[in-house]
Amino acid sequence: MPKFAANLSFLFKEYPFLERFAEAKACGFEAVEVLFPYEEPASEVAKRMADLNLKMVLINTPPPNYTGGERGFAAVPGLEDRFRKDFKRALRYAQFLGAAHMHIMAGKAKGLVALETFKKNLAWAAAEAPTMSLTIEPINPIDMPGYFLDDFDLAIEVLDSVAELNLGLQFDAYHAQIITGDAMLAWEKYAPYVRHIQIAGPPDRHEPIKGLVDYPAFFRAVDASGYQGWVSAEYIPKKRTEEGLDWFRQAQ
Active site residue 137: yes
Counting Cα atoms < 13 Å in the Cβ hemisphere of 5 gives: 24
Q: Write down the catalytic residue from 14, 128, 234, 242.
A: 234
How far, CA to CA in Å, does 176 sit from each of 68, 170, 171, 191, 221?
25, 10, 7, 12, 15
The answer to whether 164 and 121 are in contact (CB under 8 A) is no
Residue 108 region, left (φ>0) first, then alpha (ψ -120 to 50), else beta?
A: beta
- How does DSSP assign 172-203, residue by residue? EHHHHHHHHS-HHHHHHHHGGGEEEEEE-BTT
Q: Write down the catalytic residue from 19, 44, 137, 242.
A: 137
Rg over CA atoms, the chain: 17
How far, CA to CA in Å, does 83 sit from each of 69, 104, 243?
14, 10, 40
**Which residues are part of the catalytic machinery?**
137, 234
